[in-house]
Structure 1
């Protein structure tokens, strides 16, 4: 049973977290392209697709810790320091995604799909400020995409650390 749970846990991580990590990383440059070309329908559609991938696979990603806990319970390692650290890092990654990445993606999607004709400063929505910023809306939006890229990088680094801990497992008897 442990091998089955571990296999499902690993597959869930690959299938769910992989697309979020990739789509979230692709989002900031796609947002910049959509902002630079507000009339480009394809750029806006790409942005919407990447955001949808992130949202949907973030929900599917809940299966990763669920099967992780089941696997750890079967292996009797729930009290191991490496696992507790992995759980903490996973929780932190979930918070970064839910509180910092997805809301900023949503704001940028909203800002690019509304168009600039309506509000004249679509970047004001994305940047979290109301227009009037020195350098104009594009400067605010560029800052928003850079900040989003940073949060996405933090999310991906947290998952990389969890992956390393899952493979190395300090104190493991597997010889790894």
Structure 2
């Protein structure tokens, strides 16, 4: 059962978090292009699609911690320091996505739809939030692979 849960956990992380990371990273330059008047309709449609990908896959991403907790429970490692650190980093990443990234994308989409000027500082700030989100997931991935202090042989 542990191998099945672990496989599902890893697959969920790849399938759900990967698209959010990529789409969120592509959003700021796309919004900049839409705000600069460069093929506005095309860039606006692309920005809308990228935001939708972020929203939908963020919802699907809820499976990652659910499967992670189930896997850790079966493995009997819920109290491990590396796992607790991963849980905290995952919660911070999720909070960043929900509180900063997605609302900033929605705000920029509003500017695009009304042909309002998009300040470079707004897209730069969103790029920074997205970068932090991606760095947090990279750290979680490293913790999952390296497992400092683990007795599982890694």
Sort the TM-score into its range (normalised by shorter chain).
over 0.9
2:142 match: 164
Give TM-score, length-normalised by structure 1: 0.85
1:81 match: 81
How many residue pairs get aligned? The number is 154
2:99 match: 99
Aligned partners of 1:38 and 1:112 also within 8 Å: no
Deviation at 1:113, TM superposition (A): 1.4
Q: Please show how residues 14-93 of structure 1 align to structure 2 within 5 Å.
A: 14-37=14-37, 40-93=40-93
Q: Distance in 2 between matches of 1:93 and 1:142?
A: 24
Deviation at 1:114, TM superposition (A): 1.9
1:151 match: 129
2:151 match: 173
Give TM-score, length-normalised by structure 2: 0.97
Structure 1 stretches of 4+ with a deviation exceeding 3 A read none
Q: Work out which structure has the larger RCO, using CA pairs closer than 8 Å and 6 or more positions apart in sequence.
A: 2
Deviation at 1:39, TM superposition (A): 5.9
Gaps of 5+ in 2: none
1:113-158, Cα deviation, whole Å (9 max, x unpaired):
122xxxxxx24xxxxxxxxxxxxxx4xx210000000000000000
Q: Distance in 1 between matches of 2:44 and 2:38?
A: 8
Deviation at 1:73, TM superposition (A): 0.2
1:118 match: none
Deviation at 1:175, TM superposition (A): 2.6
